[in-house]
């Protein structure tokens, strides 16, 4: 029988839930990584601890060849969104297993196929990850377009902790920060320059008015 867990909320125990339900609640942000769980066997751990343990994703059969020995890093994650043309990535549900395996990023999980579920995986070349962005525990990856000048595919994943998100990005040798920060910075500079110019213009106008007032007073007297 699989271990089940109570969630400790404001001093009360809610549940119990199995691992899959707890992970689903974390993906939907009903729980945070810091929430405390109490197992039915009395053990106590956080949601992050539970997710960090080896989960069902590790039992997938695809690609269990000798290449399994070249796994350089492994993460438990959730696929949140895929935008744009590119690799054919299934709509994985619940948690997925992400491996840095040789020169590829391998994502494996379960997805709907007809009325049932199917195990599958997809491999993305590490060098095809052009840009990467970390947003807390989420990672956005932009893949090299299939055709020059074409749109990039964006893959968004939840790594559950900022530490895991940062570690994953460190394994991407060709990825550079998403350049959206540059226009924002330029826009901010332009606003600052505009405000500075406006302040200077107001100062000049006030100064001219004061000079005119002084000159008029001298003429009156």
Q: What is the pLDDT of residue 122?
A: 92
Q: What is the pLDDT of residue 221?
A: 52
Q: Is the pTM of this model over 0.75?
A: no
Collect all residues with Cβ–Cβ distance below 8 Å to 13 and sequence separation of at least 6.
Answer: 6, 7, 38
Q: What is the pLDDT of residue 179?
A: 82
Nearest 5°: phi and psi at 87?
-60, 145
Q: What is the pLDDT of residue 143?
A: 92
The number of distinct structural domains making up the chain is 3
Runs of H (alpha helix) within 4-153: 19-27, 47-52
* 26, 46 Cβ separation under 8 angstroms: no
Residue 20 is assigned to a structural domain of this protein: yes
Domain that holds residue 217: 189-221
Q: Tell me: do 137 and 163 sit in the same domain.
A: yes
Q: Computed from CA positions of residues 98, 101, 105, 106, in that sequence, does the dihedral angle turn out positive or negative?
A: negative
Q: Tell me: do 159 and 113 sit in the same domain.
A: yes
Q: Which residue has the higher pLDDT, 185 or 59?
A: 59
Return d(Cα 38, Cα 25) in angstroms, integer. 16
* 96, 77 Cβ separation under 8 angstroms: yes
Residue 61 has pLDDT above 60, yes or no: no
Q: What is the pLDDT of residue 43?
A: 83
User: Of 14, 29, 52, which residue constitutes the final position of a domain?
Assistant: 52
Return d(Cα 120, Cα 117) in angstroms, integer. 10
Q: Tell me: do 164 and 103 sit in the same domain.
A: yes
């Amino acid at each position: 029988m699989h271990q089940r867990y109570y969630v400790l909320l404001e001093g009360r125990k809610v549940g119990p839930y199995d691992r899959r339900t707890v992970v689903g609640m974390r993906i939907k942000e009903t729980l945070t990584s810091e929430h405390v769980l109490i197992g039915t066997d009395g053990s106590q751990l956080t949601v992050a601890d539970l997710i960090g343990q080896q989960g069902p994703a590790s039992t997938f059969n695809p690609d269990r060849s000798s290449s399994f020995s070249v796994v350089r890093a492994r993460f438990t994650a959730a696929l949140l969104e895929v935008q744009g043309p590119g690799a054919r990535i299934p709509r994985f549900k619940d948690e997925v297993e992400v491996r840095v395996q040789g020169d590829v990023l391998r994502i494996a999980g379960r997805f709907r196929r007809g009325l049932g579920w199917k195990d599958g995986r997809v491999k993305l070349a590490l060098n095809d990850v052009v840009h990467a962005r970390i947003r807390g525990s989420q990672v956005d990856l932009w893949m090299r377009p299939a055709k020059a000048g074409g749109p990039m595919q964006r893959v968004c994943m939840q790594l559950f902790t900022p530490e895991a998100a940062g570690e994953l990005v460190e394994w991407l040798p060709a990825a550079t920060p998403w350049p959206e920060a540059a226009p924002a910075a330029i826009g901010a500079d332009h606003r600052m320059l505009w405000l500075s110019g406006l302040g200077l213009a107001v100062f000049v106008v006030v100064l001219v008015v004061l000079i005119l007032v002084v000159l008029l007073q001298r003429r009156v007297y």
